[in-house]
A = this chain, B = another copy of it.
Amino acid sequence: MLTQHTTHLELQTRGRGLVEITAQLRHWLASQGVTTGLLTVFVRHTSASLLIQENADPDVRADLERYFARLVPDGDPLFEHVAEGPDDMPAHVRCALLPTQLAIPVVQGALVLGTWQGVYLYEHRTRGHRREVVLHLMGA
């Protein structure tokens, strides 16, 4: 019989960059008694994203941030929406280019993530923020 389970994570970021949440997802999943199902992860903000990325070499996350800092430069004169500073509109653009939501199948009681895949919250603002991530699990 299919059932549903929901919760949310509260995360305090320390400024721009990737924060791994894979262990928190696995920990919650383990307590729900679901063998087969679908886990949906949703971030309730327009200046932070979710991302599945390489979880082995920290250089990958540093390179990724350097790439996005160049692709969507802070203080770009193109932008008129600068109410909260030079990183305000770039954070919204990053949220268009990166996922707000992920859905990960559960098979044999585990997320089907590959060996090198980790799940991250990507903070786009230069200052740290309190972020809320909703988890929704449907399965049996």
Name A residues whose Cβ lies closer than 8 Å to a Cβ of B.
2, 4, 6, 36-38, 40, 42, 44-46, 51-54, 57, 59-60, 62-64, 66-68, 70-72, 78-81, 83, 89, 92-93, 95-105, 107, 112-114, 116-117, 132, 134, 136, 138-140
Chain B residues with Cβ below 8 Å from A103 are 40, 42, 101, 103
Chain B residues with Cβ below 8 Å from A36 are 4, 6
Chain B residues with Cβ below 8 Å from A38 are 38, 40, 136, 138
Chain B residues with Cβ below 8 Å from A72 are 67
Q: How far is the CA of A2 from the CA of B4 in the complex (A)?
A: 9
Residue pair A51, B96 in contact (C-beta under 8 Å) = yes
Q: Do most interface residues of chain A lie in helix, strand or loop, or is the interface mixed?
A: mixed
Most central of A2, A37, A60, A97 by chain B CB within 10 Å: A60
Residue pair A132, B114 in contact (C-beta under 8 Å) = yes
Q: How far is the CA of A113 from the CA of B115 in the complex (A)?
A: 30
Q: A101-B104, A116-B46 are contacts. A93–B81 as well, Cβ < 8 Å?
A: no
Partner pick for A83 among B57, B97, B113, B114, CB 8 A cutoff: B57
Q: A4-B37, A92-B54, A95-B53 are contacts. A60–B81 as well, Cβ < 8 Å?
A: yes
